[in-house]
Copies of this chain bind each other. A is one copy, B any other.
Amino acid sequence: MATGRTHRPATRSRGIPEATVARLPLYLRALTALSERSVPTVSSEELAAAAGVNSAKLRKDFSYLGSYGTRGVGYDVEYLVYQISRELGLTQDWPVVIVGIGNLGAALANYGGFASRGFRVAALIDADPAMAGKPVAGIPVQHSDDLEKIIQDNGVSIGVIATPAGAAQAVCDRLVAAGVTSILNFAPTVLSVPEGVDVRKVDLSIELQILAFHEQRKAGEEAANTDGALPPAAARSDSADQGPDGDMPAVMPA
């Protein structure tokens, strides 16, 4: 589908569905764990269980990448790790900058999951002069006056915004102007960016609110059940160990 018939250049992703792309990192994590245990091959059933998804979905996801499995056997773990890594672009080095070194920014700087996936924290940037030079996670914080220079000197195309909401848009504008084309936004604000720039956002408060909704609903149903108003909980094979979210992480494309 969508071989060449591009209508709008908004969401053409070379045939790979967005939902599949969002799951690839999940598979990669499970595969990496298997690889470290020197497991040579894995079936779609096993891998799906490890990744917390349906096996049919996993096979269909992989089918978008190509036919990398062997029928009757399964998938070669190392080979699949490589293929997914390449597909995600993790075989190259991605320098990232983190702007806003508060509690969250510091946590991100210390987060080990980045380096192990090809991401390199090229610089930490903060607007507070008192922070300048102070090392966080072994990296000296630089002042935001030098933001443009830092971006350009390091060839940074991915920026992480961990500033207060009020500063986020201004920081975003400067990042984009300096050449950043992908932004991960932790500030609770809608960022407006020119076309061609990707923004993904993570809002911790929003996640809790979604949980609260379901929590309230559960409490309400329970009350209704003791009242005898509703029939007993019909067995829902819906999702035993997965939330109502299905697959989407805590993030939505902007």
Residues B12 and A213 in contact, CB atoms below 8 Å apart = no
Question: Which size class do A's interface residues fall under?
Answer: 35 or more
Contact residues, A16-58 vs B (CB, 8 A): 18, 21-22, 24-26, 28-30, 40, 50-52
The docked-state distance in angstroms from the alpha carbon of A30 to that of B165 is 12
Residues of B close to A5: CB separation below 8 A: 233-234
Given A51-B190, A190-B52, A206-B25: A212 in contact with B107 (beta carbons within 8 A): no
The docked-state distance in angstroms from the alpha carbon of A217 to that of B240 is 35
Given A4-B232, A198-B244, A208-B184: A213 in contact with B21 (beta carbons within 8 A): yes
Residues of B close to A228: CB separation below 8 A: none
Copies of this chain, tallied across the complex:
2
Contact residues, A52-98 vs B (CB, 8 A): 52, 63, 65-67, 76, 78-79, 82-83, 86-90, 92, 94, 96
- Give which listed residue, B2, B102, B191, B215, contacts A241 with CB less than 8 A: B191
Residues of B close to A204: CB separation below 8 A: 108, 111, 113-114, 184, 202
- Give which listed residue, B86, B218, B249, contacts A207 with CB less than 8 A: B249
Instruction: Give per-residue flags for A220-251: 1 if the beta carbon is below 8 A from chain B beta carbons, else 0.
Output: 11000000001111111011111111111111
Given A207-B200, A210-B25: A111 in contact with B118 (beta carbons within 8 A): no
Q: A22-B248, A25-B206 are in contact. List 20 more A-B contacts (CB 8 A).
A: A6-B230, A25-B203, A63-B239, A86-B247, A87-B213, A88-B213, A94-B208, A102-B107, A103-B110, A111-B205, A119-B208, A119-B212, A181-B215, A184-B211, A193-B241, A199-B241, A199-B242, A199-B243, A202-B207, A207-B249
Question: Can you name 15 A-B pairs with beta carbons within 8 Å?
Answer: A3-B238, A4-B234, A21-B210, A22-B252, A52-B192, A79-B251, A79-B252, A83-B249, A88-B216, A89-B217, A114-B208, A158-B208, A194-B240, A195-B240, A202-B207
